[in-house]
Amino acid sequence: MPRPIWWLILHLVILTTRPHKSAVLYTRVWTDEGSPLLVISQRQIEKLQTRLTESIAVPVKVVLAMRYGNPSIQQGLQQLRDAGIHKILVLPMYPQYSATTTASTFDAISTQLRSWRDVPELRYICRYYNEPTYIQAIAEQVCEYWAEHGKHGLLLMSFHGIPQKYVDAGDPYYAECQKTGQMLARALDLGEDQWRMSFQSRLGAQVWLTPYTNHTLRELAKTGTRSVQVLCPGFSVDCLETLDEIAVENRDVFLEAGGERYDYIPCLNDSDQQIDMMSALVQKHSQGWMESPG
């Protein structure tokens, strides 16, 4: 939308109400170590560093950078610069590409590099929504959960939403979420009546991708579904949107509408499956590149 309108909404509505509400929600998921998103992401980086050091013949340095938060993209790039790195492979932890996430990350990196006199050689991993290692990792995570907690009811795959008008303008996110859901359902040998897709975390009055997760859960309960298990394939790490919005708020929605059992299946986080997948992505996209000088 035009910047003046966007600026007014941001400063008069969002920034006057949302920070306080978010702070209250974060107290419900905070751990002794800190933010789950940051703590788990740091463990991912440490494990990936170890795995790549063992797998790749040349020295590799892995750093963490947050699109919104700390360590920031500026701080992450500076770490690499201080280490004398001249080749950078960027892996945004968004399996499905969207201009709102992946492209936004690339924009932020480009903005930072404008001030560098010696710009490093860059490669980007734009998406991995249909990578066999990604689908396999999630399928194994689900099967391990089923082995421990039992398989029951319907599996709902909840993805983060974006405004519908972005998709109408050409954003491929919705199609990539659909493909991920279909591939995962096949990997788990699920029939069409055993799984569904939905979208969560909408903000504001405009139409976002549908069906909405909370509406879907309410509808399922009211039409006789007594048990659901919810999975968030588009999230790399458990965070506020999964640990509170899905595991707590939407659980209440389902149970209050008549449902009887509700399970949340955690994200891949820093599991072996996740690290295997990340390592495979890095090696695939850097093949014949990292080994050359630089």
10 domain residue, yes or no: no
Count of structural domains, the chain: 2
User: Are residues 60 and 183 located together in one domain of the fold?
Assistant: no
Domain range holding 158? 132-265
Over residues 259-269, the mean pLDDT reads 98
Q: Give the percent of the chain with pLDDT over 90.
A: 83
64 domain residue, yes or no: yes
**Residue ending a domain, choose from 129, 164, 192:** 129
151 SS3 class: coil
74 domain residue, yes or no: yes
Lowest mean pLDDT among 21-30, 110-119, 215-224: 21-30
Q: What is the pLDDT of residues 183-204, one digit of tens each?
A: 999 999 999 999 999 999 998 8
User: Are residues 141 and 259 located together in one domain of the fold?
Assistant: yes
pLDDT for residue 15 is more than 90: no
How do beta strands 261-265 and 227-231 pair?
parallel
For residue 139, what is the domain's CATH number?
A: 3.40.50.1400
User: Are residues 195 and 163 located together in one domain of the fold?
Assistant: yes
277 domain residue, yes or no: no
Task: Write down the pLDDT at residue 1.
Answer: 76
User: Are residues 108 and 147 located together in one domain of the fold?
Assistant: no
270 domain residue, yes or no: no
pLDDT for residue 292 is more than 70: no
Six token digits for residue 177: 């979420």
User: Are residues 119 and 200 located together in one domain of the fold?
Assistant: no
Over residues 25-42, the mean pLDDT reads 91
User: Are residues 117 and 239 located together in one domain of the fold?
Assistant: no
Average pLDDT of the chain?
Answer: 95
Task: Write down the pLDDT at residue 26.
Answer: 79
Task: Write down the pLDDT at residue 247.
Answer: 97
**Residue ending a domain, choose from 129, 145, 173:** 129
Q: CA–CA separation, 245 vs 248, rounded Å?
A: 6
**Residue ending a domain, choose from 62, 96, 129:** 129
Q: How many CB atoms lie within 10 A of CB 156?
A: 24
